[in-house]
Amino acid sequence: MTSAKEPLIKIQGLTKDYYSKIVVDNINLEIFESCFAILGPNGAGKTTTILMLLGLVKPSIGTVSIFGTNILNSSGKIRRKIGFLPENVGFYPNLTGRKFLKLITSLRISDRRIDNQIESYLEWSGLEKSYWDNAIKSYSRGMKQRLGLAQAFAGEPKIVFLDEPLSNIDPIGREEFIQKIRLKREEGITVIISSHIIPEIEQLADYIAFIDDGKIKASDKIYELAQIYGFDEYEITRINYNDSMSLKELNELLSAEKGLFSDLPKVLSEKIIFRTNNPEKVDNIILNYKDFNYTPLSGTLSKLYKKIIKGESYEKKE
Amino acid sequence: MKRKNKINSSLFYEKNLFSFYLKKRILSIKFILCILFSILISFSQSTFGRTISSQYLDEYIFWQKFLGVFSLTIFPLYFPIIISADIVSGEFSNKSAMIIYSMESRTKILSIKLLILIISIFILNLFYFLTFLIIAFIKTGIFVSIHIFLIGFLIIFIEFLFISSLTFMISALTRNTFVSFILPFFYISITSFLEYYELELLSYNSYKMKIISFFENFLFNEQIIFSIVKNISIIIFFGLPILIMLITFYSFKQLDIRID
């Protein structure tokens, strides 16, 4: 097992070529307990990278270590701590949602805990109760996606890989799942998301890796990348009402820190918008308040994407 | 702690996967249909008079006529293909492959599937032979000698296993149910042509016939005739299914698993 300071996933020189065409090119990353997003256009190498992390595709060169063990030599004990939702979900069509979830969960944890988990994960998925005992072949694509998300998180995994997780889910369901995945992250589950849908990544990810043509173009904490690429506007949004602290009080707390804000912050009903040159310090403060989410200003990720992936002109801060 | 040890030591998770696959296979319509058809074929081969001797039942009815069915008609040999064709590829065609969802090692999943396949083939063979045994007893009042019955059972079981392993290999490596059905089907269909055009080395059936003749001499004439050809035939007959399995496992481990 890894210690707290060691990365959960260590990727070294990961390369994959098919018939001399390089689809993933020398990726080096360390992923710690967090929500880590891999963002890039279609065909950038996201899915191949995820499949290599899972040991389903063999790297041409390089290694992937999960919990300190090479994934290709890892034991069942380690593999059972991993959940995965593939991009194209498919299940045994004649099994019911409940039975499928029970099967997957029974391959990760012992019997005693399974029964408690099945119904709670079916509920968590938002799948209508009347469908729980129906054959999966009667499910819509969105329903299958919900079941897929439930199976990825069921069985107490420590790391969950999600490949385009919300692509088939309606906008309201998408919002719900963003909250649910965020809660899972807070429970200590490391979530690795591959997507090309920027708004869902913006709301979920702590760390991000931009990938294009199989190469990592940039990788860091989102707010650090924003800072590096010249975006210094951030927002703190209220996501829960569990603590008694109001946004106004939080603003006062932050304003008390000398030189933290570059100019006067705007305090709105649900968020604070501000400029800072020290995003890490803000992050360290906000970490203590679970009701608030701290991200670069909405839309920043889209701008970053354009700069990093599409190479649109920008002045990189030194 | 005690519970934890039990889970770790008794292949707890493998048992869950095994029972899931076994239920799925045994209760599938195609498996039940194969069993029913094999009983029908076995029944149709059991037409003989009431007053026959034990030796006549063993040598002529069982050994030559009943076992000969597998050489004269290729129909029963299609059953192992039907049972094995989708055993790995079926999961990939509906994107439900357990390798992807359960994260169990692919060797473990393939081993469990292979075990299920062997059990299925054994059950199929058992129905086939027991039907003959029971009908023969009902009609004549005598049983086929147990050692002759078991040797006949073993030979056909190995032949079924060869066809299954071939289908299993194609199913695992191509992950395409149609291809894994049609290629072994084609191979069995051209067996007689291979023998006709003196390409016996490529025909598994020709090795089987040598084994049958070897055991025929041994069982009924009490002669053990070894020759280089017979020895090689025995090695190929029993060794080929194992070799195919080993190739399957090795190649499947090297494969990239993608669901596109």
Nearest Cα neighbor of A280 from A208, A219, A206 is: A206
- The pLDDT score that the predictor gives to residue A1 is 41
B16 vs A139: CA distance, rounded Å: 25
Task: Tell which wins on pLDDT, A3 or B217.
Answer: B217
A vs B: CB pairs below 8 A: 67
Residue A13 is encoded by which pair of tokens? 């020189």
More confidently predicted of A127 and A242: A127
Which residues in chain A have their CB less than 8 angstroms from residue B13's CB? 76, 80, 106-108
- The residue ranking higher by pLDDT, A88 or B171, is B171
pLDDT at A137 over 60: yes
Report pTM.
0.84
Instruction: Give the confidence band of A287 by pLDDT, cuts at 50, 70, 90.
Output: confident
In the chain, the amino acid numbered B232 is: I
Q: CB–CB of B13/B103 below 8 Å?
A: no
pLDDT digits (tens, 9 = 90+) for B33-83: 999 998 888 888 777 666 778 888 888 888 888 887 665 566 788 899 999
Dist. CA A41–CA A309, nearest whole Å: 8
A110 touching B, CB under 8 A? Answer: yes
* Domain range annotation of chain B: 10-254
A80 to chain B, any CB pair closer than 8 A? The answer is yes
Which of B24, B94, B103 comes nearest A90 by C-beta?
Answer: B94
Backbone dihedral angles phi then psi of residue B216, each to the nearest 5 degrees: -65, -45
CA distance A209 to B251: 33
Do the beta carbons of residue A9 and residue A159 sit within 8 Å? yes
Q: Point out the residue among A92, A93, A110 whose CB comes nearest to the CB of B3.
A: A110
Q: What is the pLDDT of residue B74?
A: 66
Predicted confidence band at B8 (pLDDT cuts at 50, 70, 90)? low
pLDDT band at A317 (very low <50, low <70, confident <90, very high): very low
**pLDDT tens track for B162-207:** 999 999 999 989 988 899 999 999 998 888 888 888 888 888 988 9
Mutation test of the interface with chain A: which of B11, B27, B101, B260, choosing the one with the most A Cβ atoms within 10 A?
B101
CA-based nearest residue to B121, from B75, B150, B153: B153
Is the separation of the CB atoms in A304 and A220 below 8 Å? no
CA B203 – CA B171 distance, rounded (Å): 21
Q: Identify the weakest region by mean pLDDT among A9-13, A156-160, A265-269, B89-93.
A: B89-93
Q: Do B259 and A58 touch (CB under 8 A)?
A: no
Would you state the pLDDT for residue A315? 46
Kindly list the residues of chain B whose beta carbon comes within 8 Å of any beta carbon in chain A: 3, 7, 12-13, 16-17, 20, 24, 94-96, 98-105, 108, 254, 256-260
**Nearest CA of chain A to the CA of B178: how many Å?**
19
Which H/E stretch holds residue A226?
helix A222-228
Cα Rg for chain B, rounded, in angstroms? 20
Residue of B nearest to A148 (CA): B101
User: How is residue A262 written in tokens?
Assistant: 């570059």
State the Cα–Cα distance between residues B62 and B130, nearest whole angstrom: 12
Is the pLDDT at B2 greater than 80, yes or no?
A: no
The pLDDT of residue B90 is 81
> Checking DSSP bridges between strand A82-85 and strand A233-238, what pairing results, if any?
unpaired
User: Is the predicted pLDDT of residue B29 greater than 80, yes or no?
Assistant: yes
Tell me the DSSP string of A27-76: EEEEE-SSEEEEE--TTSSHHHHHHHHTTSS--SEEEEEETTEEGGG--H
Chain B hits for A104, CB-CB cut-off 8 Å, are 101-102
The string of pLDDT tens digits covering residues B235-260 is: 999 999 999 999 999 999 888 887 66
Q: Is the pLDDT of residue B3 over 60?
A: no
- Pick from A77, A22, A76, A74: nearest CA to A53: A74
**pLDDT digits 0-9 by tens, A96-134:** 999 999 988 888 887 667 777 899 999 999 999 999 999
Would you call A56 and B254 a contact, using CB atoms and an 8 Å cutoff? no
Top residue of A106, A114, A141, A163 to mutate, by most chain B CBs within 10 Å, is A106
The neighbour count for residue B147, using CB atoms within 10 Å, is 10
Rounded Cα distance, B244 and B104, in Å: 23
- Encoding tokens for residue B137? 């007893």
SS3 A18: strand
* Beta carbons of A90 and B13 less than 8 Å apart: no
The tokens for A81 are 């701590």
Nearest CA in chain B to A18: B256
pLDDT digits (tens, 9 = 90+) for A35-57: 999 999 888 999 999 999 998 89
Per CB-CB distance under 8 Å, the chain B contacts of A112 are 3
pLDDT of A3: 45
Mean pLDDT, residues A148-152 taken together: 93
Q: What is the DSSP letter of A138?
A: G
A-chain residues within 8 Å CB-CB of B102?
Answer: 104, 107-108
- Mark which residues 130-169 of A lie under 8 Å from B by CB: 151
Answer whether residue B7 shows pLDDT above 70: no
Quick one: which of A225, A224, A158 has its CA closest to A191? A158
Average pLDDT, chain A: 87
With a cut of 80, say whether residue B15 has pLDDT above it: yes
Question: What would the pLDDT profile of A56-81 be if each residue is shown by its tens digit?
Answer: 899 999 999 999 888 888 777 788 89
End-to-end CA distance of chain B: 43
pLDDT of residue A314: 46
**Mean pLDDT across the stretch B152-168?**
94
Question: Which DSSP string corresponds to B15-36?
Answer: HHHHHHHHHHHHTSHHHHHHHH
DSSP letter assigned to residue B144: P
Do the Cβ atoms of B249 and B88 come closer than 8 Å?
Answer: no
* Residue A56 with chain B: CB contacts under 8 Å: 99-100, 256-258
Bigger pLDDT: A256 vs A131: A131
Answer for the pair B95, B259: CB distance below 8 angstroms, yes or no. Answer: yes
Once rounded to an integer, what is the mean pLDDT over residues A252-260?
84
Contacts of B101 (CB under 8 A, 6+ apart): A84, A104, A151
How confident is the model at residue B10, as a pLDDT?
A: 58
pLDDT value for A2: 42
